Amino acid sequence: MTRNDRSRYYTVPEAAEMLEVSPSTVWRWIEAGRLPAQRVGPKNIRIRKEDLAAVITPARTQKVSMEDKERGDNWADYDPEKVREAITETAGSWADLDTDALIANLYRAREEGSRPATRP
């Protein structure tokens, strides 16, 4: 059994190796708040095994049907709640946007099986 199998924590280089990304990518994720990390002493950073596993997510959470692809439904795989979260995170840039109306339109379009109107 290797050290990685026994340990609850990984160093940045170990985490990068496990995810097959560069250590600078892991550092960017930590700085952006996407990957929680703990400081151990003044210079050492450690990442919990559970937190490292949490950054691995499916590329798509919903399957897009061939029918949706054929008709060019760009909204088919959008999750309205994730859209709400994204809008909240970028609040300053879309301050005048009516998020409730946008979310309602996304839900309605999904239920009707049509895509929302696009800008001309």
Query: What is the Cα–Cα distance from 82 to 58, expressed in whole angstroms?
Result: 14
| CA distance to 2, 11, 17, 62, 115, per residue, from 77 (Å) | 40, 35, 31, 6, 11
Q: Give the pTM.
A: 0.46
- Cβ–Cβ < 8 Å for 88, 98: no
The pLDDT of residue 47 is: 93
pLDDT digits (tens, 9 = 90+) for 75-100: 556 677 777 777 677 666 656 777 77
Query: What is the Cα–Cα distance from 100 to 108, expressed in whole angstroms?
Result: 12
pLDDT digits (tens, 9 = 90+) for 98-112: 777 877 887 777 777
The pLDDT of residue 100 is: 78
Q: Which position has the higher pLDDT, 9 or 59?
A: 9
Q: Which domains does the chain have, with CATH numbers?
A: 3-54 (1.10.1660.10), 66-112 (no CATH)
- Cβ–Cβ < 8 Å for 25, 16: yes
Q: With cut-offs at 50, 70 and 90, classify the pLDDT of residue 27.
A: very high
> How many CB atoms within 10 Å of residue 106?
19
Angle between helices 23-32 and 12-19 (to 10 degrees): 110
Q: With cut-offs at 50, 70 and 90, classify the pLDDT of residue 37.
A: very high
- Cβ–Cβ < 8 Å for 115, 73: yes
State mean pLDDT over 27-33. 90
